[in-house]
Amino acid sequence: MKRSFLEVKIHSEIVQILSQQLADTYLLYTKTQNFHWNIVDPRFYQLHKIFEEQYEELAKAIDIIAERIRMLGGRAPGTMHEFLNLGSIEESTDILTGNQMIKQLAEDHTFLADSMRLGIVASSKLGDEGTTDMMINRLRSHEKNMWMLQSHLSHD
Give pLDDT tens digits along the chain (156 positions).
Answer: 555 545 565 678 999 999 999 999 999 999 999 999 999 999 999 999 999 999 999 999 999 999 999 999 899 999 999 999 999 999 998 999 999 999 999 999 999 999 999 999 999 998 899 999 999 999 999 999 999 999 998 764
In angstroms, the CA 83 to CA 90 distance is 11
Closest CA to 138 of 65, 74, 77: 65
Which residues, in sequence order, are CB contacts of 129 under 8 Å at separation 6+?
123
Q: What is the pLDDT of residue 6?
A: 55
Q: What is the pLDDT of residue 4?
A: 57
Closest CA to 135 of 55, 30, 18: 18
Q: What is the pLDDT of residue 137?
A: 98
What sign does the dihedral 139-140-141-143 (CA atoms) show?
positive
Report the length, in residues, of the chain: 156
Instruction: Name the domain count of the chain.
Output: 1
What is the domain extent for residue 84?
5-88+95-150
Q: Where are the beta strands (DSSP E) in 73-140?
A: none
Q: What is the pLDDT of residue 12?
A: 80
Q: Flag whether 155 is in a domain.
A: no
Q: Flag whether 74 is in a domain.
A: yes
Q: Flag whether 137 is in a domain.
A: yes
Q: Flag whether 144 is in a domain.
A: yes
Q: What is the pLDDT of residue 8?
A: 61
Give the CATH number for residue 76.
1.20.1260.10
Identify the DSSP state of 79: S
In angstroms, the CA 102 to CA 110 distance is 12
Q: Flag whether 156 is in a domain.
A: no
Closest CA to 51 of 101, 90, 124: 101
In angstroms, the CA 29 to CA 57 distance is 9
pTM of this prediction exceeds 0.85: yes
